[in-house]
Structure 1
């Protein structure tokens, strides 16, 4: 299985080459799970109702109203749009959140600090296996909390957790830049020592912070191939220990 995280900025910018690559991977016998976010649209909706985005270390602070907005944006707008795009390219996909069937389970990260934000602890791997058996699985980064409530999960962290729990062969964090950038150059590889130095020097900031942290967590959990890129054909930045 290959888990591909698609950021909200990428949803409307997926190229024909991306879909062709998905077809090729499926032809090689790979199961494909897409974990998607929708940050910009969520922020726009929040602004519309007078609730501008607040982020701490790249994690969106989510109160109950913002959780409702997030849920609707991801499951009623972003996921159907992705489903439509896959269909237009002749690829069958499953909108895994459409039935409201709980298959991702999370605990609060820090409710006092972040609100309704979770960290995935358990998944129904059999459901994921079935949904990706003959088609691409489309999964929003929303999980079920301890009391059955919905929790917002950072999509990079959600992709890592799912990939680790189902023992995926590869994790691709697809974003709108060609990889981890340093002085306007793409790093071919990024190891932990270099990443820690870049964190300390504040050269890795905003949305790249959870991306890089999720990438190293995936390696720690045994995922053999992890990359950050804007093109699944090109590796971008390979994450190494």
Structure 2
């Protein structure tokens, strides 16, 4: 076995120590806080990315954060549907779901994706539990329609999130993995867009951070035309304008809607990250650099607002007040 010179080994050790030291303030800040991560895209099909993501989320758990994974299964649903001779059709970024497609959704999400993600997280060492949106009334939905009132079949729009089961799991130090199938008032199971479900869950849990993994580096001002128009920060007001003006790629609309809903629901930090980048979630949470697109409230970033609120709480405790 080759032996590294002492100076080289020392330099490598110093680099590792610097990384840990940089992460410490962020670990301290988010200790005990809930982080909702919408897991999807290429990160769900590439074997290296799948294992890396599971290990990263397990690390979040072990350093004291409370991660919740919410997943869809677009690639898996599409592949299984094709094998069964069914054609996938989308309206406004939402999958039109008839009875046959709903069977495919159940098989893909509950029978394939959810058990796989749970297994990967458990293999990484974290106690993980698979959860369906129909469990304990978690995702209560109504029939959804397209942007122009189109009939989407068995697609559900989240009306209410009952967090009691997720809270019980988190307090028991389990890591929930949520498959986004919901149930309406008539007891009918419906396919719920994973982005929209994740945003609703983040708001209902009072999460400190909502992370949405995508297959692009972030949100573009002019996607597909100007690769230099990647937006490192964007305000909620800008996002609402882009939605209203129909300036977004159809597949991005549910993601942006989910982030707007989460932030308006009280989540102080939201991020769009490239799930194809190894350790993107760790880089965003535990380093000063950050990646992707950060959502802002306007003049100040949500991170600034969060830090100021935390500082106010510390000052209040120091003066004998109640935070």
Q: Which runs of 5+ in 1 are unaligned?
A: none
1:50 paired to 2:85: yes
Alignment partner, residue 123 of structure 1: 161
Name the SS for the 1:51 alignment partner. coil
Report the Cα distance in structure 1 between the residues aligned to 2:293 and 2:209, rounded to whole angstroms: 14
Deviation by residue 1:137-178 (Cα, 9 ceiling, x = unmatched): 000111111111111111000001111112111111012222
Alignment partner, residue 209 of structure 1: 253
TM-score (norm 1): 0.89
Bigger shift: 110-119 or 231-240? Answer: 110-119
Deviation by residue 1:58-95 (Cα, 9 ceiling, x = unmatched): 01111111111101100100011111211221122101
Structure 1 pair 199–20 and aligned structure 2 pair: CA distance change class (3 A): same
1:184 paired to 2:219: no
Bigger shift: 191-200 or 104-113? Answer: 191-200
Deviation by residue 1:41-65 (Cα, 9 ceiling, x = unmatched): 1112222223211111101111111
* TM-fit CA distance, 1:196: 5.3
TM-score (norm 2): 0.68
Bigger shift: 174-183 or 198-207? Answer: 198-207
Alignment partner, residue 26 of structure 2: none
Report the Cα distance in structure 2 between the residues aligned to 1:145 and 1:153, rounded to whole angstroms: 11
Structure 1 pair 98–119 and aligned structure 2 pair: CA distance change class (3 A): closer
Bigger shift: 205-214 or 99-108? Answer: 99-108
Contact 1:62 1:116 in 2 (8 A): yes
Structure 2 counterpart of 1:238, from 270, 294, 298: 294
| CA RMSD after TM alignment | 2.4
Query: How is 1:5-24 mapped onto 2 (pairs within 5 angstroms)?
Result: 5-13=38-46, 14=49, 18-24=53-59
Alignment partner, residue 223 of structure 1: 267
Q: In the comparison of the two structures, how many residue pairs are matched?
A: 241
Structure 1 pair 77–196 and aligned structure 2 pair: CA distance change class (3 A): same
Q: Which runs of 5+ in 2 are unaligned?
A: 1-33, 275-279, 285-290, 298-323
Bigger shift: 143-152 or 198-207? Answer: 198-207
Structure 1 pair 123–196 and aligned structure 2 pair: CA distance change class (3 A): closer
Report the Cα distance in structure 2 between the residues aligned to 1:221 and 1:100, rounded to whole angstroms: 23
Contact 2:37 2:70 in 1 (8 A): yes
Looking at CA atoms only, which structure, 1 or 2, has the larger radius of gyration? 2
Report the Cα distance in structure 2 between the residues aligned to 1:107 and 1:198, rounded to whole angstroms: 26
Contact 1:9 1:38 in 2 (8 A): no
Higher helix share: 2
Report the Cα distance in structure 2 between the residues aligned to 1:20 and 1:44, rounded to whole angstroms: 26
Report the Cα distance in structure 1 between the residues aligned to 2:156 and 2:111, rounded to whole angstroms: 20
1:90 paired to 2:128: no
Structure showing greater relative contact order (alpha-carbon pairs closer than 8 Å, 6 or more residues apart): 1
Structure 1 pair 172–203 and aligned structure 2 pair: CA distance change class (3 A): same
* TM-fit CA distance, 1:206: 2.5
Alignment partner, residue 152 of structure 2: 114
* TM-fit CA distance, 1:38: 0.5
Name the SS for the 2:190 alignment partner. strand
